[in-house]
Amino acid sequence: MDKKVYTMLNDQITKEYYSAYLYLQIAAYFDEHGLDGYAAWYEKQAQEEEEHAMKFYRYLHENGQTVKLGQIDAPDVTFNDFLEPVKAALGHEQYITGCINDIMTAAREAHDYRTAEFLQWFVHEQGEEEVNANRMVQLMETFGGKKIGLFFLNEKVKERQ
């Protein structure tokens, strides 16, 4: 495996686990404010990010590569209202999309088509993640400033499976 591609894939494991930490921090914020639906939503997001990290982990092992786990920093975020965390989640998903795109570019430049094919799932997944995160921002901007709207939004996001 190309050294640059390997390093980027390995680093992505840490980024995915950081994503999980960030979503747990967001979940904690909502939980502390009695918004259990939003807390559950972001707890589920955290679980998905851990699953993504493990996909990279397994891919490296399946391709004879050594996994070198990096340090996961605590999210350095504070929120002053309910819009800020959903915007932070959207911004983070956009960042992760950029990371996946960078790895894809490196894989293609290295003619590593197996890795490029592996990453295609993440390209699709990030599209879905950005759509969902953007929708959360739109809904919070539209209805979150009204107590009854926030109540119904919280109940709606509880329905996520």
Lowest mean pLDDT segment, chosen from 4-8, 115-119, 141-145:
141-145
Instruction: Please list, in sequence order, all residues whose beta carbon lies within 8 angstroms of the beta carbon of residue 77, skipping any fewer than 6 positions away.
Output: 22, 25, 26, 85, 88
52 annotated ligand binder: yes
Convert the pLDDT of each residue in 54-93 to its tens digit. Answer: 999 999 999 999 999 999 999 999 999 999 999 999 999 9
Q: Is 126 annotated as a binding residue?
A: yes
Global model pTM greater than 0.75: yes
Residue type (1 letter), 11: D
Tell me if 32 is assigned to a ligand binding site. no
Give the per-residue pLDDT at 161: 58
Establish whether 94 is an annotated binding residue: no
Going by CATH, does the domain composed of 1-157 fall within 1.20.1260.10?
yes
Tell me if 16 is assigned to a ligand binding site: yes
Whether the pLDDT of residue 4 is over 70: the answer is yes
